[in-house]
Amino acid sequence: MLSKLIRIGTKLDLQSIQQVKDDEKENKIYKSEVYDIISEERLEVTMPMEQTKLILLPVDGEYDMTFYALNGTVYQCLGRVIDRYKSNNVYILVFELITNLRKYQRREFYRYSCALEMCARTLEEEEIKAVEAKEHYYLSPGLPLKRSVIVDISGGGLRFMSNQRYEPGSMIYCTYHLVLKGVPKNYEIVGKILSVKPVDSKPGVYEHRVQYVNIPINDREEIIKYIFEEERKVRNKEWNK
């Protein structure tokens, strides 16, 4: 599939999934192009440059890759640098694709389809005021939670199904577990409901889209790393079939 969509010379952008520590800055985007296609899972790209300076992206660094095909279609995938070297006086990065190439969706974070148990509730008025003031330790413990299922997750938000209907624009407290490098961790996050719609095939069940609010940088990074790990597991299974 890769060789059918991408050619030698195709321009691409590279953006690290490692979140910057200053919320007012954006992650740096590096310009590159495809140098060679090694296989359906690996390709060589030219080392990015700024003016006349080479940017030595690190081995094992993981990046959001955006390709600009000649027909005007934009494709996206996640990739990891597995090698770098000089060939014919050209500095090369070798990328291993972690996810399948797909048409680019204009959203901030890559979304991973899943089925994860989550518990949630609507925030109390005092909690909402604290969230809006960006205060920490604002959640009241012990309040009842409703069970739901996360069906996709990203570093910017999630989508979940629930018998409970939450109002668009409302804020919720949600908690769920992720396993990162074999270690489970509980996440307690505040989110804003962006949209709600009934699930046609399941009467009484509602689909909600949520955007995180004031999520700690470390939590966001860990969620993105979790997505990378899970996508890598899926891709490895596909390769070994």
CA separation, residue 208 to residues 118, 149, 178, 211 (Å)? 13, 10, 20, 10
Q: What's the pLDDT tens digit per position in 205-218? A: 999 999 999 888 88
Closest CA to 82 of 58, 101, 99, 64: 58
Residue 60: exposure state from Cβ atoms within 10 A (0-12, 13-18, ≥19)? exposed
Superfamily per CATH, domain 112-237: predicted glycosyltransferase like domains (2.40.10.220)
Say how far apart CA 123 and CA 171 lie, in whole Å. Answer: 6
Average pLDDT, the chain: 87
State which CATH number among 2.30.110.10, 1.10.357.10, 3.40.1500.10, 3.40.50.720 fits the domain covering 2-103.
2.30.110.10
pTM: 0.64
The one-letter amino acid code at 236 reads N
User: Over the stretch 119-133, which tens digit does the pLDDT of each residue have?
Assistant: 999 999 989 988 888
> Higher pLDDT residue, 162 or 27?
162
Domain parsing of the chain, residue ranges: 2-103, 112-237
Our CA angle for 226, 230, 233, nearest 5°, is 140
